[in-house]
Chain A
Amino acid sequence: GENVEQHPSTLSVQEGDSAVIKCTYSDSASNYFPWYKQELGKGPQLIIDIRSNVGEKKDQRIAVTLNKTAKHFSLHITETQPEDSAVYFCAATNMNTGFQKLVFGTGTRLLVSP
């Protein structure tokens, strides 16, 4: 089955810096890669996603890149703000199964200091 590894487990940056979180996956059949943000005491919330037919996707200060050959994908946050502080999870799944059985990474705790 699919296995997703995520690094780093903790990331501390200064406000305004960029943050990069990296994930690798094992199953070449995986073709959908969402990123979720989890704030303290809340459930995860989707912030951006990418399909395997696309190499990069941007949404304002957030971008995701995908390298299918190397089986890795990354989340990039530019101009970080204190409200970006949260735990971020990557995930992977094969959409062709129809019911989106996500396999999550172990999470990255991002701390943005003012």
Chain B
Amino acid sequence: NAGVTQTPKFRVLKTGQSMTLLCAQDMNHEYMYWYRQDPGMGLRLIHYSVGEGTTAKGEVPDGYNVSRLKKQNFLLGLESAAPSQTSVYFCASIDRPRGGGGNQPQHFGDGTRLSIL
């Protein structure tokens, strides 16, 4: 049981290049999230999805696009990378809350370290 797997683990891009980060979860979770983590700023939500085929903007969505074509996968795209997008990106997932409880732990991947020169 791998949990949440992020690929790639590291990547260096040049300004203006594009790339896609992949998040895959094998827990049949309904909700998935993309965060970025910057020094001194904690984790900030970029986009999230509450189910296959749905996406929504988080706190810092500009410059990113996402897709959730399959329930187990959540893709984060950078169309034209900028140095300000140098960060560590984390994906997380949780199951749909049942019985009124929303307090399930978010399961995080180990991150993708992205540098943009």
> Residues of A at under 8 Å CB distance from B?
1, 4, 6, 9, 32, 34, 41-46, 49, 51, 89, 93, 95-107
Least Cβ–Cβ distance between A95 and chain B, in angstroms: 3
Q: Is the CB of B103 within 8 A of A44?
A: no
Chain B residues near A104 (CB, 8 Å)? 42-44
Q: Is the CB of B108 within 8 A of A44?
A: yes
B31 is an interface residue with CB less than 8 A from chain A: yes
Least Cβ–Cβ distance between B65 and chain A, in angstroms: 19
Q: How far is the CA of A101 from the CA of B106 in the complex (A)?
A: 10
Q: Is the CB of A100 within 8 A of B102?
A: yes
A51 nearest CB neighbor, chain B only: B103
Interface of B is mostly: loop
B90 nearest CB neighbor, chain A only: A43
B76 is an interface residue with CB less than 8 A from chain A: no
Chain B residues near A96 (CB, 8 Å)? 102
Q: Is the CB of A6 within 8 A of B42?
A: yes
Q: How far is the CA of A106 from the CA of B38 in the complex (A)?
A: 9
Chain A residues near B59 (CB, 8 Å)? 1, 103
Q: Is the CB of A99 within 8 A of B108?
A: no
Q: Of A41, A100, A106, which contacts B104 at CB under 8 A?
A: A100
Chain A residues near B111 (CB, 8 Å)? 41-43
Q: Is the CB of A44 within 8 A of B94?
A: no
Chain A residues near B41 (CB, 8 Å)? 106
Q: Is the CB of B42 within 8 A of A101?
A: no
Can you report 13 residue pairs joining A to B where beta carbons are below 8 Å apart? Answer: A1-B59, A6-B42, A32-B102, A43-B108, A44-B90, A99-B31, A99-B97, A100-B31, A100-B104, A101-B58, A102-B43, A104-B42, A106-B41
